[in-house]
Amino acid sequence: MAQTLRKSGESRAPVTGTAIAVRKKRSLILDIYSTAVGKKYVMAISGIAMMGFVFFHMLGNLKMYLGAAELDHYAEFLRSLLYPLAPKGAVLWILRGGLVAMLALHLHAAWSLTVLNRQARPVKYQSPRDYEVANFASRTMRYSGMTVLSFLIWHLLDLTFGVVNTVGTDSSFVREEVYANVVRSLDRWPVSVFYILANLLLGMHLRHGAWSIFQSLGWNNPRFNAWRWTFATGFALVVVIGNISFPIAVLAGIVKI
């Protein structure tokens, strides 16, 4: 590594052996977020928050197998979390706000890291790469993520706002009738196909993401390192199998109005 190559007039980067002697004026959080490693912490932490959401979302929705009354009652429980201590819907809106913030952070960190990575290799390899261990999931995180995001938007329009769920007999959408809405929506096979496809991609995204959390946050311990992939695979499988069972159950007529 002896040879150096500098254009004339260009100064070498400063030798920063005394890093702690230079105190940055930025706040700690911004200081950390300004680095690529810090953005990965944010990816990991926002990922954990959203993993918590998808897990409990799947778990709660399993109640549809117990019938309309049970599922609608569960939805009412979400709206009245901590009621009467807090007003109805307040806690739900706080959770929703947190999730939107986490999603925004996840997207911003992903975007800026992607830009950084493109800049790090302005001239690509001119011959085909022969990857050894990078798998389809890890190399398509951006695309699986964008597909899941577009599904999320559709999903909200479909079952929360009801603007694309007008196939019901009365063609009117009542948000509280969660069970009926789900069945009416998933009875349309293209919706179910999109639902299944998006969840398969979500599973891929989750498997690589759930493993990456440990690396990004530096949670590495020889005692549990072997379990990190087991956890990631298991988590992705549980979420995907649970979620995909819903459209299949509706199409198969197991869950019906």
To other proteins, the closest distance from the beta carbon of 237 in angstroms equals 19
Contacting range for other proteins; rule: CB under 8 A; set: 17-25, 177-185, 192-200, 244-252: 17-25
Contact 39, 154 (CB under 8 A): no
Contact 88, 80 (CB under 8 A): yes
Tell me the backbone φ, ψ of residue 124, rounded to 5 degrees. -75, 165
Contacting range for other proteins; rule: CB under 8 A; set: 48-56, 195-203, 215-223, 241-249: 215-223
The residue written with tokens 């490693």 in the block is 37
Query: Any residues with CB less than 8 A from the CB of 92 and at least 6 apart, and which?
Result: 78, 79, 81
Shorter beta-carbon distance to other proteins: residue 81 or 141? 141
Could you say whether residue 55 binds other proteins (CB under 8 A)? no
Could you say whether residue 235 binds other proteins (CB under 8 A)? no
Please give the Cα distance from 92 to 63 (Å, whole number): 19
Question: Amino acid identity, residue 215?
Answer: Q
Please give the Cα distance from 209 to 142 (Å, whole number): 11
Please give the Cα distance from 35 to 43 (Å, whole number): 12
To other proteins, the closest distance from the beta carbon of 205 in angstroms equals 12
To other proteins, the closest distance from the beta carbon of 8 in angstroms equals 13
Query: Any residues with CB less than 8 A from the CB of 146 and at least 6 apart, and which?
Result: none
Could you say whether residue 214 binds other proteins (CB under 8 A)? yes
Could you say whether residue 226 binds other proteins (CB under 8 A)? no
Number of residues that bind other proteins (CB under 8 A): 57
The residue written with tokens 């989750």 in the block is 206
Q: Pick the binder of other proteins from 39, 63, 106, 184 (CB under 8 A).
A: 39
Could you say whether residue 70 binds other proteins (CB under 8 A)? no
Could you say whether residue 26 binds other proteins (CB under 8 A)? no
To other proteins, the closest distance from the beta carbon of 132 in angstroms equals 4
Shorter beta-carbon distance to other proteins: residue 135 or 150? 135
Shorter beta-carbon distance to other proteins: residue 45 or 248? 45
Q: Pick the binder of other proteins from 9, 10, 11, 12 (CB under 8 A).
A: 12
Contacts of 251-256 spanning 24+ positions with Cβ under 8 A: 251/186, 251/187, 251/189, 251/192, 254/65, 255/64, 255/65, 255/182, 255/183, 256/183
Please give the Cα distance from 249 to 31 (Å, whole number): 49
What residues between 102 and 141 interact with other proteins by CB under 8 A? Answer: 113, 116-117, 119-135, 138-139, 141
Could you say whether residue 219 binds other proteins (CB under 8 A)? yes
In the complex, which residues of this chain contact other proteins (CB under 8 A)? 1, 3-5, 12-13, 15-21, 23, 28, 31-32, 35-37, 39-41, 113, 116-117, 119-135, 138-139, 141, 208, 211-212, 214-220, 225
